[in-house]
Amino acid sequence: LTQQRYPVTRLPFSVVSAEDLAAFERILPGGVVTDPEVLEASNVDWLRTVRGCSKVLLRPRTSQEVARILRYCHERNLAVNPQGGNTGMVGGSVPVFDEIILSTTLMNQVISFNSVSGTLVCQAGCVLEELSRYVEERGFVMPLDLGAKGSCHIGGNVATNAGGLRFLRYGSLHGTVLGLEVVLADGTVLDCLTSLRKDNTGYDLKQLFIGSEGTLGVITAVSIQCPPKPRAVNVAFLGCPGFAEVLQTFSSGKELLGEILSAYEFMDAECMWLVTHHLRLASPVQESPFYVLVETSGSRAGHDSEKLSDFLERALSSGLVTDGTVATDQTRLKALWALRERISEALSRDGYVYKYDLSLPTERLYDLVSDLRARLGSQAKHVVGYGHLGDGNLHLNVTSEVFSPSLLADLEPYVYEWTARQRGSVSAEHGLGFKKRGVLSYSKPPEALRLMQQLKALLDPKGILNPYKTLPAQA
């Protein structure tokens, strides 16, 4: 097994044998997949830029089965790639070589829901959108939402510490996840699946696994705090004449909408071009250099619409906003959100996508996009900026007809150096996975990196869990 496509060498893990397959079949009767056609989809990532060559996919249903698989793989020195919905953006969810794919697809049961506290306990393979439906029927919402909701698993969300569209209101999974059950590399089941809001008994171990991208353990169950479902939701989709106005509209929104402001997303004119051309979505407002999506969520429709009208009147009369539309019914709300949520889908139809996910000081966030547009000139098909402006998170994406090494050389390390100069983060919410593991040092000091490597060695001494991911290759 040689790997030509990536500058990485296969580590000396064992190769899956016929005896191994028989052992897996004993642990998971009917849950061992070796059909190359089925494996094809699990070997390639959502962006179709990273591909592995795994020959086996395992589909456990219980934590005990995961434990038995990992105990066996640890003993046999077999590498394992945990996989949820395979919507990750950094190549962490697919094997690099022949790692065994351990999928949570069949671990899709809700374990309990407390309708007083709003605590949901479920298996890791529950699809986010299905969980949303489940809790919404009971008067609650999931504290996170993202464009990949129809496919991503809650375990994958926790493993990537996904941010998404509700971060501004409900914060990070580091706050909303109350407990986790995790199977460690040697098969030990770590039951930290509590539902307590407060628990200061020793180190908060679950936090280690939130955002660990399958490198420290396999998350098998999640306990998560769901907030009450807001009774009134409004979405305003607005056109702004410049980025300065996008920022001022945000400040004004925070001041005038206060506690009901629940999302503040932005996209530039090139993003609008992409979604209207590739996905045939219709723009609801006049053409503008920038667009913002402002969502309010509250408990009294009258109170919220009064606040929103005041905010919009002032934004329009002062010229911060040049055109806008407001939706309150489900169908129109969804249509407005689609313009923003489906940008990544439109980009992947445009060509090869160079994807950057950066945390930057909000006031400088768009400078990098303008700067790159000038730097790259006609080499790039599109240079676009969009993202979770309310969280200081820019999605900077560049497309070209086909992959171009010279374009990449103009982008990297330039983008990372630019970000490091602002003391920003080279991965705000997507993680490092396979594609970005080499750039961690732009955002973390050597002491932090060393401690991360020590933690990895402690929890996974043989390095069988998601090798070649997250941490840079060690010398």
The contact set with ligand MLT (CB under 6 A) reads: 147, 343-344, 357, 395
Half-sphere exposure of 126 toward its Cβ, with a 13 Å CA cutoff? 25
Q: Which is nearer to ligand MLT, 100 or 368 (CB)?
A: 368
Instruction: Give one DSSP letter per residue of 162-215, joined into a string.
Output: ---TTHHHH--HHHHEEEEEEE-TTS-EEEE----S---SS--THHHHTT-TTS
**Residue 101 site contact among ligand MLT, ligand FAD, none (CB < 5 to 8 Å, cut-off depends on kind):** none
Residue 386 beta carbon to ligand MLT: minimum distance, rounded to whole angstroms: 7
Residue 355 beta carbon to ligand MLT: minimum distance, rounded to whole angstroms: 6
**Residue 262 site contact among ligand FAD, ligand MLT, none (CB < 5 to 8 Å, cut-off depends on kind):** none
- Euclidean distance between the first and the last CA atom of the chain, given in angstroms as a whole number: 22
**Residue 307 site contact among ligand MLT, ligand FAD, none (CB < 5 to 8 Å, cut-off depends on kind):** none
Task: State the residue number with the nearest CB to ligand MLT.
Answer: 344
Residue 229 beta carbon to ligand FAD: minimum distance, rounded to whole angstroms: 20
Name 83's bridge partners.
103
DSSP alpha helices (H): ranges in 77-144? 128-136
What's the CA gap between 372 and 364, in Å, rounded? Answer: 13
Q: Which is nearer to ligand FAD, 88 or 118 (CB)?
A: 88
Residue 433 beta carbon to ligand FAD: minimum distance, rounded to whole angstroms: 6
Q: Which is nearer to ligand MLT, 307 or 395 (CB)?
A: 395
CA angle 39, 105, 51 (to 5 degrees): 35
One-letter identity of residue 449: L
Residues that bind ligand FAD (CB under 6 A): 46, 81-89, 92-93, 104, 124, 146-148, 152-153, 155-157, 159-160, 162-165, 213-214, 218-219, 344, 429-430, 433, 466, 469
**Residue 395 site contact among ligand MLT, ligand FAD, none (CB < 5 to 8 Å, cut-off depends on kind):** ligand MLT
Q: Which is nearer to ligand MLT, 304 or 357 (CB)?
A: 357
Could you tell me the CA-to-CA distances from 239 to 215, 252, 271, 283, 317 in Å, in that order? 42, 15, 13, 10, 13
**Residue 157 site contact among ligand MLT, ligand FAD, none (CB < 5 to 8 Å, cut-off depends on kind):** ligand FAD
Residue 133 beta carbon to ligand MLT: minimum distance, rounded to whole angstroms: 21
**Residue 343 site contact among ligand FAD, ligand MLT, none (CB < 5 to 8 Å, cut-off depends on kind):** ligand MLT
**Residue 433 site contact among ligand FAD, ligand MLT, none (CB < 5 to 8 Å, cut-off depends on kind):** ligand FAD
Q: Which is nearer to ligand FAD, 224 or 320 (CB)?
A: 224
Query: Do the bridges between strand 261-268 and strand 177-183 make them parallel or antiparallel, or are there none, so unpaired?
Result: unpaired
Could you tell me the CA-to-CA distances from 362 to 368, 391, 414 in Å, in that order? 11, 8, 19
CB burial readout 84-105, b (16+ within 10 A) else e: bbbbbbbbbbbbbbbbbbbbbb
Task: State the residue number with the nearest CB to ligand FAD.
Answer: 156
**Residue 54 site contact among ligand FAD, ligand MLT, none (CB < 5 to 8 Å, cut-off depends on kind):** none
Instruction: Give one DSSP letter per residue of 240-272, joined into a string.
Output: ESSHHHHHHHHHHHHHHHGGGEEEEEEEEHHHH
Residue 357 beta carbon to ligand MLT: minimum distance, rounded to whole angstroms: 6
225, containing H or E segment: strand 218-225
Residue 183 beta carbon to ligand FAD: minimum distance, rounded to whole angstroms: 9
Q: Strand locations in 365-474, DSSP E?
A: 382-388, 393-400
Residue 156 beta carbon to ligand FAD: minimum distance, rounded to whole angstroms: 2
